[in-house]
A and B are shown apart, each in its own frame.
Chain A
Amino acid sequence: MAFNVVLQTTTSEKNRMDKTITDIATYSGTLRADTSIVDPVFLIECDLTSVVNANYLTVQAFGRSYFINNIRSMRAGLVEFSCHCDVLSSFKAQIRQNHAIMHRSERNWNLYLNDGSLKVKQNPSITTHKFAETFYGVYSYVLILAG
């Protein structure tokens, strides 16, 4: 089965679902040995210097994108790419169809939930405020007489 391997570069965070990806080169090949589609190893005939910036690849036939964990030069013109599936990006459309209870969020939060995430300094702020009225300087004598 022939399929295409697209070598790519991403500068996005590993935990970002929608990664910014730049294609470097596309190679066509076939499966020649046992391989995992979760942690595949690809041998590609290419110039090492032209692919050293690749850190990501996509195999459309597998329906997955991969992080390149290691690049090994096997011999001149033959480079081995050890990969691991980027499950977030590969299945992002299906993941987004789910609901979840969010523990923490960047944009939808409730700060009245006390999870201890807000750190407080040891020195608190102490303020005082007087009520408007006072007993100061005000008094009356009270004389109580029988009868």
Chain B
Amino acid sequence: MAQQNTGLGWSAEQNYLVQSAAAEVAEIPAHIGGSSFPGQPLPVATTRLDVITNGFLLYEKTGLDNLRHKYYVASNTAGAILVADMGSAPASSFVMYRCVTNINGARYYMADSADPDYFYEADLSTSVGSGFYSTPGNEATSGGGSDYALNPQLPAFPDINSFIAAIETAAPTPITKTNAGYCVACYAQWYTQNGTELHSPILISSDSEFTEMSGPSGYNLATFNKLLSGLRFYMSFWDIPAAETLESSAPTVDLRQNGNLTLEQVFMYIVSTSYAHVIIINSPDPYEQEGGDGEEDGGDGEETGDDDAGIEAGSDFPSAINTGFCRIFSPSESELRNLSNYLWSSNYDLAQVKKLFSNPMDSILGLSAVPIRLLGSSVSFSLGGVPITGMTLPLVTKQRYTYHMGSITIKERWGSYLDYDPYTKFSIFLPFIGMRELAADDIMGKTVSLVYDIDILTGMCVARLQAGTNCLYEWGGNCAIQLPVNSRNWDSVFSTAVSAVGGIVSAVTGGSAPLVAGSVASAALQTVSMKPRIDKSSTIGGAAGWLGQMTPYIIRTTPEAFIPTDQNKFIGYPAYINVALNSISGYNEVESIHLENVTATGTELEEIESILKGGVIF
């Protein structure tokens, strides 16, 4: 079996698993393929299934002892599930179900270690009953494979709605054991082969049914090793031709003629409780978003006001408003049109304009648009000292506004140095500012929030990336687009536009520079640092900013680790710790040792030290 280099590795101490699920499934030989799997590879798409982080949560079910079944369910955030049925006889044997979700749809693929002919596919978006398939030769098209075919009197699988209803009945707040939004529920029925129901449908993975296993990392290591052994045991089946499976080599018993047999058939459904919320399984997104879905059709936090979490008026700011030389209004488009019409009408008495202004329009210090929604109480106003009768405008009382863009939790993916610089790289796109680099060391493991401080008078904005209340980064920009109200204003707008274009041009022409420099400078570095860093955007501010992306986002570049199976057993992982040699086991390489109280010859002592440094299995 070509299962080498599938990337399966486990660190019990680190509670960390790396597994190439997609690769393993793709290796399933042709005879496993069935009517629902007309081609290879199996439709377990997604490149995201190949990484499982944060370890497994392992649950133990002991409540069905009447059948001497004992289940261990391990779930993780990547949509892979291991279900171990510890079986009934012999006590040391067990069945390993391995389920892989297709994160692009509500589908599960479940392999049965005791019967490699079985490879179930479940379309949970429609009906479990019609969604399970077995492989050729097992003619049943639904309901659970050859055993079902031999025993057509067995009841069909309940549909998914009944299933979910049963779950919710058993656990009104469905399944609280979650792991990053994902959890697992199992639902089982037992029947004898003559169709007698041995156990009513039961939810077996609610909190009350499953207890999280004890141990320093939330599981019992010995049991987990047994699970892992089972996984390998199951994997080894994939090379066995159909005619040589355990089932076909076992003594033949015509179950239809022996209704007294107590062989049981186990139907097991595995679902995510989030199914009820449409989202079946999230991909192992390293981010955990807070505060909304970030759709581009507009955020909610655009209004001013105390009850608005998205935006708040700033304080401790030398506001021009307080000087009395100017007032800031936030008119609507219709109000602006009305004002414009008024100014060009005969109603506006130029003779009344204060002599302070040579041009009445000079009393309009500026007109711009800013990317926040301002509110104010409508008040009457004057222009050039001339009261504008019959019109009011919303008066803005603050000059500085703070806009909260939300937060993102940056999680480790590998649980290793690969999650940090220079292997993992981050950059952030900031509207009106552009793309900026972030150091993985600064933000890894933190929940970072992005806040814009906006001065609506000048249009200047400062984006702050914070971890808690600590500011990690600050970038400046301009988010206002100047609108012309007279020829002087138009000059300003035009010059701003030219400046913005110049910025873009410089970015384009300068784009090759970091590419070349990066390639040359890093030639002697490792592969990951040989990657050139390309400027993804220039400084985008002012009018140009309004033409660009309006939603901030983070780009994460994560290395894809390639870890051979059992790498730790062959060459270990870095340790660099001082230990007593009588306290360790497994493969170990010694960095340094001063051998004492060993009654060996000098030559032998040198040989012992050499061997220890070369690697010894304790």
Contact = CB atoms under 8 A, between A and B. Distances in A.
B292 interface: yes
B588 A131 contact: no
Interface stretch (B121-129, B244-252, B281-289, B499-507): B281-289
A147 B385 contact: yes
Contacts of A125: 47, 557-560
B563 to A, nearest CB: 7
A97 B581 contact: yes
Contact of B598 (A17, A91, A129): A91
A115 interface: yes
B289 A143 contact: no
Place the interface of chain A in its size category. 35 or more
A111 to B, nearest CB: 3
5 contacts: A15-B617, A106-B588, A125-B47, A131-B294, A140-B374
Nearest to B427: A128
B275 interface: no
B573 A109 contact: yes
A142 B608 contact: no
Given A120-B562, A140-B369, A134 B326 contact: no
A110 interface: yes
Contacts of A140: 330, 369-370, 372-374, 456
Given A133-B291, A134-B550, A143-B364, A90 B589 contact: no
Contacts of B612: 95, 100
B603 A136 contact: no
B617 A17 contact: yes
B581 A99 contact: yes
Contacts of B170: none
Nearest to A111: B416
B528 A120 contact: yes
Contacts of A95: 581, 595, 598, 608, 612
B599 A91 contact: yes
B415 interface: yes
Given A145-B363, A146-B363, A137 B416 contact: no
Interface in B321-376: 325-333, 336, 339, 357, 362-374
Interface in B585-618: 585-601, 603-604, 607-608, 611-618
A131 B31 CA distance: 47
B358 to A, nearest CB: 13
A101 B588 CA distance: 10
A136 B616 CA distance: 61
A68 to B, nearest CB: 17
A138 B370 CA distance: 8
B294 A130 contact: yes
Interface of A: 13, 15-18, 38, 63, 85, 87-88, 90-91, 94-147
B616 A15 contact: yes
Contacts, number: 373
B281 to A, nearest CB: 16
Interface string B410-443: 0000111110100100000001100000000000
Contacts of B585: 106-107
Which of B286, B371, B580, B618 counts the most A-chain CB atoms under 10 A from its CB? B618
Contact of A102 (B381, B569, B584): B584
Contact of B290 (A85, A130, A132): A132
Given A98-B593, A111-B16, A143 B574 contact: no
Interface stretch (B6-14, B153-161, B174-182, B196-204): B6-14
A103 B598 contact: no
A106 B587 contact: yes
A142 B369 contact: yes
B553 to A, nearest CB: 4
B571 interface: yes
Contact of A147 (B327, B580, B597, B599): B327
A137 B462 CA distance: 20
B357 to A, nearest CB: 8
Given A101-B576, A138-B302, A88 B336 contact: no
B475 to A, nearest CB: 14
Contacts of B594: 98
A141 B298 contact: no
Contacts of B423: 120
Contacts of B484: none
A128 to B, nearest CB: 5
B326 A119 contact: no
A88 B614 CA distance: 12
